[in-house]
């Protein structure tokens, strides 16, 4: 008997069903990841046990994971808020670099002559402004001329990286430590600009990031802006026909995305690198990893917090896994498989598969 498979659109309104689909997607990702682990010659149970231990096995592990979670929450939010409106920007990486430049510049400018209660917010605000300005370079032409935000933001990522590298490696700029006669590096930001460490290496940045995730979740759900962004994301035509200012909303969303990524850059300077350090900021690929976090969370701001914690844990577990024979490439492959599994799961939030008889068979008259 010939069967026909059709794809029909649907919307899963139940939060329980969405959570079930997400959970199954993660489980499938872990099962597929087991094949990578087996292929590398490692024991699956040992690898996953070592991963859990590296994430929450000790106080130091939790501190390290929390520290790595903070920027991923912010870059995850940056991706989620744009993707929800079908604006597929991948510019968080470059916006993070610019935020690090402006944030560290503000820290060095203010110096130690002011209390931390004023300096830290100024540093974060400078990062936000830097991220917004960098995002607007693409947001304005995207809103008014329909330029491709994917290509534009990708190009700006490389430009931002070269600017950051030039400030430290190719010039005697304000950011470069001129007293260091060895390998070029950035000036250490003053202590007043550094985030307070409340538990070992864990700093107060995690509270700021979690608070922003909760606030953004409420904002998207209960405000008119959130409603308009949802409508435009579902149907651009519907937004236009209902009288919404689509251009303004595109600029607002991309600007907000840039602000979050820029804050992540400033926060890295204030809590991790303590200077404008291109190697440290580039090695984490935090902007691109934020896209993975947003996808795992289903673009839900509140779900981004646990998703960022898991991804940060997998990343920080890399050195521990290498000791039992798992290569860094395998760790990256595990992240990629998890992303693809979750992306595949999101398909079932919007579509369903139906199996039906072929058209010729369905139209045949039954025998009397």
125-144: buried (b, 16+ CB within 10 Å) or exposed (e) per residue?
bbbbbbbbbbbbbbbbebbe
- Strand 351-357 and strand 197-199: the pairing is unpaired
| Mean pLDDT computed over 150-164 | 95
Q: Please indicate, yes or no, if residue 333 is contained in any of the structural domains.
A: no
pLDDT digits (tens, 9 = 90+) for 208-232: 999 999 999 999 999 988 888 888 8
- Give the pLDDT score at 357: 64
Q: Please indicate, yes or no, if residue 211 is contained in any of the structural domains.
A: yes
Residue 368 has pLDDT above 50, yes or no: no
Q: Please indicate, yes or no, if residue 113 is contained in any of the structural domains.
A: yes
Percent of the residues in the chain that have a pLDDT greater than 90, as a whole number: 46
- Give the pLDDT score at 12: 53
Residue 234 has pLDDT above 50, yes or no: yes
What is d(CA 96, CA 134) in angstroms, rounded to the nearest whole number? 10
Q: Please indicate, yes or no, if residue 11 is contained in any of the structural domains.
A: no
Q: Please indicate, yes or no, if residue 55 is contained in any of the structural domains.
A: no
Residue 82 vs residue 199, higher pLDDT: 82
Number of domains in the chain: 1
- Give the pLDDT score at 250: 94
- Give the pLDDT score at 33: 83
Q: Please indicate, yes or no, if residue 63 is contained in any of the structural domains.
A: no
Nearest C-alpha neighbor of 292 from the set 342, 345, 339: 339
pLDDT digits (tens, 9 = 90+) for 327-340: 777 777 877 787 78
> What single-letter DSSP state applies at residue 207?
H
Q: Please indicate, yes or no, if residue 327 is contained in any of the structural domains.
A: no
Highest average pLDDT, of 97-106, 146-155, 173-182, 313-322, comes from 97-106
What is d(CA 276, CA 215) in angstroms, rounded to the nearest whole number? 29
Which band of pLDDT confidence, cut at 50, 70 and 90, is reported for residue 92?
very high
Structural domain boundaries, residue 192: 69-300
Q: Please indicate, yes or no, if residue 368 is contained in any of the structural domains.
A: no
pLDDT digits (tens, 9 = 90+) for 18-45: 778 778 887 888 888 888 888 877 788 8
Residue 265 has pLDDT above 60, yes or no: yes
| Mean pLDDT computed over 46-57 | 83
């Amino acid at each position: 008997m010939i069967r026909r498979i059709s794809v029909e659109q649907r919307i899963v309104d139940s939060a329980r069903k969405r959570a079930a689909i997400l959970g199954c997607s993660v489980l499938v990702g872990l099962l597929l990841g087991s094949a990578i682990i087996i292929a590398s010659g490692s024991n699956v149970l040992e690898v996953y046990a070592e991963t859990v231990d590296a994430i929450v096995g000790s106080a130091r592990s939790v501190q390290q994971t929390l520290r790595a979670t903070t920027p991923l929450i912010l870059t995850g939010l940056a991706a989620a808020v744009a993707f929800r409106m079908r604006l597929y920007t991948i510019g968080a990486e470059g916006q993070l670099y610019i935020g690090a430049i402006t944030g560290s510049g503000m820290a060095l400018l203010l110096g130690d002559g002011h209390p931390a209660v004023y300096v830290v917010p100024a540093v974060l605000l400078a990062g936000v402004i830097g991220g917004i300005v960098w995002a607007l370079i693409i947001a304005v032409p995207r809103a008014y001329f329909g330029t491709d935000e994917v290509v534009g933001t990708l190009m700006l990522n490389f430009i931002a990286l070269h600017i950051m590298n030039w400030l430290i490696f190719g010039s005697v700029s304000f950011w470069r430590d001129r007293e260091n006669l060895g390998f070029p590096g950035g000036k250490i930001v003053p202590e007043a600009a550094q985030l307070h460490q409340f538990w070992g290496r864990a700093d107060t940045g995690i509270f700021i990031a979690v608070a922003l995730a909760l606030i953004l979740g409420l904002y998207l759900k209960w405000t008119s802006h959130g409603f308009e962004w949802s409508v435009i994301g579902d149907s651009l035509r519907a937004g236009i026909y209902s009288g919404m200012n689509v251009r303004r909303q595109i600029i607002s969303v991309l600007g907000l995305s840039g602000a979050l990524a820029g804050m992540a850059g400033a926060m890295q300077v204030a809590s991790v690198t303590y200077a404008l350090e291109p190697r440290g900021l580039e090695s984490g690929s935090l902007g691109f990893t934020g896209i993975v976090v947003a996808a795992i969370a289903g673009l839900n701001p509140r779900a981004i917090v646990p998703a960022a914690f898991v991804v940060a844990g997998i990343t920080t577990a890399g050195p521990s896994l290498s000791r039992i024979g798992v290569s860094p490439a395998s760790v990256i492959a595990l992240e990629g498989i998890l992303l693809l599994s979750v992306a595949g799961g999101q398909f079932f939030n919007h579509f369903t598969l139906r199996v039906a008889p072929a058209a010729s068979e369905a139209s045949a008259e039954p025998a009397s």
